[in-house]
Amino acid sequence: MDVAQRLQRIPPYPFREIAMLKAKLLAEGKQILDFGIGDPDMPTPDFVIEALCEAAQDPSTHQYDESGYGIPEYKQAVADFAKKRFGIEVNPEGEIQSLIGAKEALAHIVWAYIDPSDVVLVPDPAYAVFKVQTTWCGGNAVPMALRVENDFLPDLGSIPARVAEAAKIMFLNYPNNPTGAVAPLEFYEEAVRFARDNEILIVQDAAYVEVSFDEAPCHSILEVDGAKDVAIEMHSFSKTFNMTGWRLGWAMGGAEYIDALSKVKSNVDSGTFMAIQRAGIAALARYDEWHPQLIAEYQRRRDALVEGLNSLGWSLEKPRGTFYVWAPVPPSFASSAEFTHALLNDCGILTTPGTAYGTTGEGYVRFSLTIPAEDKLCQIQQAVANIRQNMPDLWA
């Protein structure tokens, strides 16, 4: 049977070809240095697992979370965290929604607001969910190019007035996947002004907000005065506590936006397992002690990879956030796809072509610092050595 047209309209899965090549090389007994997928390779902290085990023993966690928005203790823990971490007041009653990870909320908020032919401003390159969901709702995804010369921030001033006026949602994602850029508070101030002037809802994807380096903790857009009037922000435990498989996050923002999201969710899912919400409370309670270790490990990997690539001729700045390195394709290669294939075939290095994130991603490849190998630094050094040996004329 034919799948629905909406499914047929999605472009072919960009990683499929690479995954097939990877499988072929592995079958031939080749070693693969995997910088592909962005999924934390380190385990969830013990104190979170212990909290889950304890909560799962309590039968009162076994039923639907009928609150719809999250259990009161969870929402309070999130509000306390937001106050401590970002200095903001978020009302646990009405301004917070528990999530099954950030991804579902990024999808569901589109279903809450977008009708056929509505305009959505979507960064390019970006996480695919923004555009796919817009397209599924019949909306018109208008790309906002993220370029190095603008620190990978969208140039809001270059958006034509008629597009800005027509737009209903603007997606942002900082720290940014795939570029590793972070957003200064001044940018969020500009974005809030822009949204207010044009009656746009900002959906800020903060999945990586806790992965930032060099003592530059990232901001929440809600730190901007009046942001709740125009913004909702999605947060996640996935990257902060190595909990991608657990599916836990929260949305915070203006009550009307939380309410609309909640209405969609209540028709699609039945909330987050209450024991997992309790584990989330335990995670947030020990954030201060856990977080420096996490960042130190990614910083060590980031520094080794960036310094290694720079020793080969790149002139990369160290990314300020996320666990990705967004590296330009050397001029001796015609495209991201060609370079990605050469890295895999000639050097055994798996990366992601920039075009997997949008057309503006052409000319880049993404290295993920989530490394499944036992010795992380050893894999990074091996990758640099392989490129040095097998691609001698890289920058010629």
Ligand X SMILES: Cc1ncc(COP(=O)(O)O)c(C=O)c1O
The smaller minimum CB distance to ligand X, of residues 177 and 379, is found at 177
**Least distance from ligand X to the Cβ atom of residue 338, Å:** 25
Amino acid at 84: K
Place of tokens 């009302």: 91
The smaller minimum CB distance to ligand X, of residues 280 and 330, is found at 280
**Least distance from ligand X to the Cβ atom of residue 385, Å:** 29
The smaller minimum CB distance to ligand X, of residues 38 and 45, is found at 38
**Least distance from ligand X to the Cβ atom of residue 126, Å:** 7
Q: Which of 263, 243, 245, 247 is nearest to 255 (CA)?
A: 263
C-alpha torsion 308→149→369→51, nearest 10: 150
The smaller minimum CB distance to ligand X, of residues 133 and 198, is found at 133
**Least distance from ligand X to the Cβ atom of residue 234, Å:** 7
Return all residues near 98 (Cβ < 8 A) that are at least 6 apart.
Answer: 65, 69, 70, 71, 74, 75, 248, 249, 250, 271, 272, 277
What is the distance between the terminal CA atoms of the chain, rounded to a whole angstrom? 52
The smaller minimum CB distance to ligand X, of residues 164 and 234, is found at 234
Q: Whole-angstrom Cα distance, residue 182 to residue 164?
A: 23
**Least distance from ligand X to the Cβ atom of residue 223, Å:** 20
Preceding peptide of 328 cis, ω within 30°: no
Strand order in the sheet with 140-145: 96-99, 249-253, 231-236, 201-205, 167-173, 119-124, 140-145
**Least distance from ligand X to the Cβ atom of residue 147, Å:** 18
Q: What is the DSSP string of 325-387?
A: EEEEPPTTSSSHHHHHHHHHHHH-EE-EEGGGG-GGGTTEEEEES---SSSHHHHHHHHHHHH
The smaller minimum CB distance to ligand X, of residues 308 and 321, is found at 321
The smaller minimum CB distance to ligand X, of residues 106 and 384, is found at 106
Query: Quick one: tokens of 287?
Result: 């954030």
The smaller minimum CB distance to ligand X, of residues 308 and 361, is found at 361
Return all residues near 382 (Cβ < 8 A) that are at least 6 apart.
Answer: 33
The smaller minimum CB distance to ligand X, of residues 247 and 278, is found at 247
Distances (CA, A) of 92 to 71, 76, 88, 99: 10, 6, 12, 14
Residue ranges binding ligand X (CB under 6 A): 38, 101-103, 127, 173, 177, 205, 207, 236, 238, 244, 249
Q: Which residue is nearest to ligand X (CB)?
A: 101
Q: With contact defined as beta carbons under 8 Å apart, do 200 and 168 qualify?
A: yes
Return all residues near 159 (Cβ < 8 A) that are at least 6 apart.
Answer: 121, 144, 167
**Least distance from ligand X to the Cβ atom of residue 102, Å:** 4
Q: Which of 130, 125, 113 is nearest to 154 (CA)?
A: 125
**Least distance from ligand X to the Cβ atom of residue 269, Å:** 13
The smaller minimum CB distance to ligand X, of residues 164 and 294, is found at 294
**Least distance from ligand X to the Cβ atom of residue 173, Å:** 5
Q: With contact defined as beta carbons under 8 Å apart, do 192 and 58 qualify?
A: no
**Least distance from ligand X to the Cβ atom of residue 388, Å:** 30
